[in-house]
Amino acid sequence: GLSLSRPEADPALEVLHRVFGYDSFRGNQRQIVDQVISGGDALVLMPTGGGKSLCYQIPALVRPGVGVVVSPLIALMQDQVDALRALGVRAGFLNSSQDHETRREVEKAFLADELDLLYLAPEALGGGTSSTWRLLEQGNIALFAIDEAHCVAQWGHDFRPDYLALSMLHERWPEVPRIALTATATSRTHEEIAQRLNLKQAQHFVASFDRPNIQYRIVPKNSPIKQLLDLLRTEHNGDAGIVYCLSRASVEKTAETLSANGIPALPYHAGLDQRVRAANQSRFLREDGLVMVATVAFGMGIDKPDVRFVVHLDLPKSVEGYYQETGRAGRDGLPSTAWMAYGMQDVVQQRRMIDGSEGDLAHRRMLSMHLDAMLALCETVDCRRVQLLNYFGQQAGPCGNCDTCLTPPETWDGTIPAQKLLSTVYRLQSERNQKFGAGQSIDILLGKKTDKVTRFRHDELSVFGIGTELTETQWRGVARQLLAKNLLQVEGEYSTLALTEGSAAVLRREREVMMRREPEKVA
Ligand code: ADP
Ligand code: ZN
């Protein structure tokens, strides 16, 4: 046991001062550190930037033996280890990117108890049969830290099968404390982590998920590049930020367009050469005012405090993903923006990806539920932060720092327009046996005699021209909201519209459809 009665006998605080140069613990770091030093298990939910690393680094330095850190972030291990070594911490890592020689040296240091921290990729453990596992059996282990612990949860948004083997750590080393950490977990994921990692005895530490300095904004996607340029020019001139796109092609195109418009931008996606990726990442971290245009491949574990904005040009697949990605903004606590443009095409695309995804029905259903929660966040007329925090099981009141608080959106009764659009889809199908995309239905409702309308004689349909009370943008909003509410669906390669089980109730006037008013011009 440690005596904490005299200040100089507080080894955790001493390490915090001497090694890391910080004055005091933050949030619940102190309680977490004490729990692990005393040999207990901990499950830590703390938002990005909250200071998770110290929660296992300090106990590893205080307890005898080597702290073993399991992390999926292979690309960052070198950086993490370098940063620790610069502080005088004896750190090393083992992963597949290493040559034989280096590996032998790390192994030797580990066995001689000459390391404070050893970072490992989960796949290295190989289910208890690998050489790494045998190595661990011969060493003296202070603790196991399981970083990005949500990766063990199949319900979560970032499941990695290699993580399942981590349940065996407890069986093999029942006396070694384990600390699992994640920045993202709904209560359901949280429970799954505790269960799969066998953390029944662990103390749970749940920090607030609120990031009050981040302003959340979600706008309809009209001309995304132009909207993005407006945002950057008017609010984030010269700032560093991240722009997330779904595809590699749109990453490339967006980065080029920004550069052509005088905004220094770099691309990042898994299709780029490893060296280009590493170079772009390190420029983003070291230089000021660069915009990283990236797929979600970018960002896990990146610690850049002054990211002033995170933009999503495409809809994220889940609220967890959205929260984690936007959480990379404003780690320094200064005002930052999380801005997303989202449109009908996003819903279409994501639903199609889910339908075409591998995996069983249960898996597709899970993906659908993740998407529905994300859509509910987009379409809400209430405070975004309240919705976001509720999703993570936290209660809150309206924040005053999100778009819906700052400019409360009006709602309107969209039942009649919904009926008009659904009737158009119905008539195309029942009278003509045809299916078309949303654009054609909107042209019909607006009474536009386009080539395609006259060619298919859609101007002879009874619904032709019955929707002139709304603009094209407003109709797109109606279609998008119906898709988001599952009152309309898209099918097949050409994303044609089709009715759903819910459509009938609207057509029979048994169901009202309240909608969010679309701003005609979007800031
Ligand atoms: P997380 O892993 O939760 O995203 P980090 O462990 O990377 O967060 O910490 C985020 C930042 O906060 C880092 O720059 C870290 O050095 C700093 N930090 C963590 N704890 C403290 C503390 N007690 N006092 C001052 N700075 C801290
Ligand atoms: Zn709000």
Q: 501-519: per-residue pLDDT in tens?
A: 899 999 999 999 999 887 6
> How far does CA 364 lie from the centroid of its chain?
19
Give the nearest ligand 1 atom to 50 CA. 3
- Opening angle at CA 162, ends 295 and 156, nearest 5: 55
pLDDT of residue 8: 54
17 lines ligand 1 (CB under 6 A): no
Q: Is the CB of residue 328 below 6 angstroms from any atom belonging to ligand 1?
A: no
Pairing of strands 240-244, 203-206: unpaired
* Strand ranges for 265-345 from DSSP E: 265-268, 291-294, 307-312, 336-342
Which pairs count as long-range contacts for 165-171, CB under 8 Å and 24+ apart, including other chains? 165/122, 165/125, 165/126, 165/127, 165/128, 166/70, 166/122, 166/125, 166/197, 167/196, 167/197, 167/198, 168/125, 168/127, 168/128, 169/144, 170/197, 170/198, 171/198
Whole-prediction pTM: 0.78
pLDDT for res 127 = 64
- The CB of 49 under 6 Å from ligand 1? The reply is yes
- 100-129 tens-digit pLDDT: 999 999 999 999 999 999 999 988 887 667
Hey, what amino acid is at 454?
A: T
SS3 category, 136: helix
Containing 499, the helix (H) or strand (E) segment is strand 496-499
Burial of 159 (0-12, 13-18, 19+ CB in 10 A): middle
Neighbours of 303 (CB within 10 A): 15
Residues of the chain with pLDDT under 70: 1-8, 127-128, 519-523
56 Cβ inside 6 Å of ligand 1: no
Nearest alpha-carbon partner for 183 in 31, 374, 326: 326
Atom number of ligand 1 nearest to Cα 53: 6
Q: Give residue 519's pLDDT.
A: 65
Q: Does residue 355 line the site of ligand 1, with CB under 6 A?
A: no
Residue 303: the pLDDT is: 80
The residues, any chain, with a CB within 8 Å of residue 264's CB and separated by 6 or more, are 258, 289, 290, 291
Question: Can you give the pLDDT at residue 91?
Answer: 97
List of residues 6+ apart from 6 with CB closer than 8 A = none
Q: Which of 14, 22, 24 gets mutated to test ligand 1 (max ligand atoms within 8 A of its CB)?
A: 22
Q: What is the pLDDT of residue 299?
A: 84
Nearest to 515 by CA among 418, 377, 384, 419: 418
Characterize 184-214 residue by residue with b for buried, 16 or more Cβ atoms within 10 angstroms of its Cβ, and e for exposed: bbbeebbebbbebbbbeebbebbbbbebeeb
For residue 119, what pLDDT is reported? 96
CA of 250 to the centre of ligand 1 (A): 33
DSSP state, residue 457: T
pLDDT of residue 518: 73
Distances (CA, A) of 267 to 274, 320, 342: 12, 24, 21
